[in-house]
Chain A
């Protein structure tokens, strides 16, 4: 039953990504050229409600469906890993015109070349695992 719920959550997320056009290369390209409000509107609205939801969860100590407290683990403190990793990710996001969520969605949408991006992203993750200890964090 729970399995089905996760698939359903993913399903709605996939439809949202596609129908919002956040999964389109053109919208990402346009966003980085600051020529439309569309993507900023999406991220801004998601954030406004996201902050609201998280604040409500914290303020009212809302429990998860199985009765456990909802804990959002703070990320480890650092500057270099977030800025360097972030820049590397941003270069790829703009070059391929898709971030990980939309990559999965576009595979389902039937764009076969995106499978190359997906496999390369897995390879990139693997490469990070290999050299992780030699990088500034």
Chain B
């Protein structure tokens, strides 16, 4: 029931990418969001979504698998405890009004009862929109740029990953104190 150490996890993520390359595909999760748009008919309003999404059906199967994996890991391979984050991180949670006596995800944001607060919904909606918009603008997300792109030593991916960190640092250090 213990979480996996970072070196095993990192190695297995690289193996995921390797197997997809050997299958003649590529490792990239956010492109599925574009596929969803195309499936739902977004091609009618923007040519960006007019592509042969059926050729990307394999990636939707990966998504189905990832959901199943999440289900099995959460229900049978884990007890849902809060990760063993550092004491300094725990101490800082107080200022966000998030308890350090928590679960795998903070219940202040990801429990059903938390949705009664409009602010929680706004955080989730704005976070999601930024993720979707930014990933497509940058041409990839963590899997496509930080893992696949950097593994191939691509400069565009390095620029994107630097962007990911600039954005993340601004959010946590500048905006979190204003939001929470």
Q: CB within 8 Å of B: which residues of A? A: 2-3, 5-33, 35-39, 41-54, 57, 62, 64-66, 68, 70, 72, 74-79, 81-101, 103-114, 116-130, 132, 135
Query: B56-86 vs A: 1/0 string, CB under 8 Å?
Result: 0011011111111111111101100011011
List residues of chain B with CB within 8 A of the CB of A79: 159
Determine how close the nearest CB of chain A comes to the CB of B73; give it in whole angstroms.
Answer: 4
B162 touches A108 (CB 8 A): no
Number of A-B contacts (CB under 8 A): 496
A117 to B112, CA, bound (A): 14
Given A16-B9, A26-B83, A86-B138, does the pair A94, B61 have CB atoms closer than 8 Å?
no
A120 to B126, CA, bound (A): 7
Q: How far is the CB of A90 from chain B (nearest CB, A)?
A: 2
Assess the A129–B29 pair: CB atoms within 8 A: no
Distance of A105 from chain B, by nearest CB (Å): 4
Chain B residues near A5: list those with CB within 8 A. 23
Residues in chain A near residue B151, CB distance under 8 A? 47, 50-51, 53-54
Task: Scan residues 135-156 of chain B and give those whose CB is less than 8 A from a CB of chain A.
Answer: 135-143, 145-156
Residue contact A16 to B13, C-beta cutoff 8 Å: yes
Given the interface pairs A30-B89, A95-B126, the reply to whether A38 lies near B6 with Cβ below 8 Å is yes
Tell me whether B85 and A35 are in contact (CB under 8 A): yes
Residues of B within 8 A of A112 (CB): 112
Chain B residues whose C-beta falls within 8 Å of the C-beta of A17 in the assembled complex: 66, 69-70
In whole angstroms, what is the CA distance A113 to B68 when docked? Answer: 17
A interface, over-half SS: helix
Partner of A90, one of B3, B12, B59, B167: B167
A92/B129 contact (C-beta < 8 A), A5-B23, A41-B6, A114-B110 known? yes
Residues of A within 8 A of B145 (CB): 86
Q: List 15 A-B contacts (CB under 8 A).
A: A13-B66, A20-B8, A24-B105, A29-B85, A45-B11, A47-B150, A70-B24, A72-B21, A75-B140, A84-B138, A92-B130, A96-B127, A104-B29, A105-B67, A128-B133
- Cβ 8 A contact of A113, one of B124, B133, B163: B124
Interface pair B33/A43, CB less than 8 Å apart: no
Q: How far is the CA of A93 from the CA of B126 in the complex (A)?
A: 11
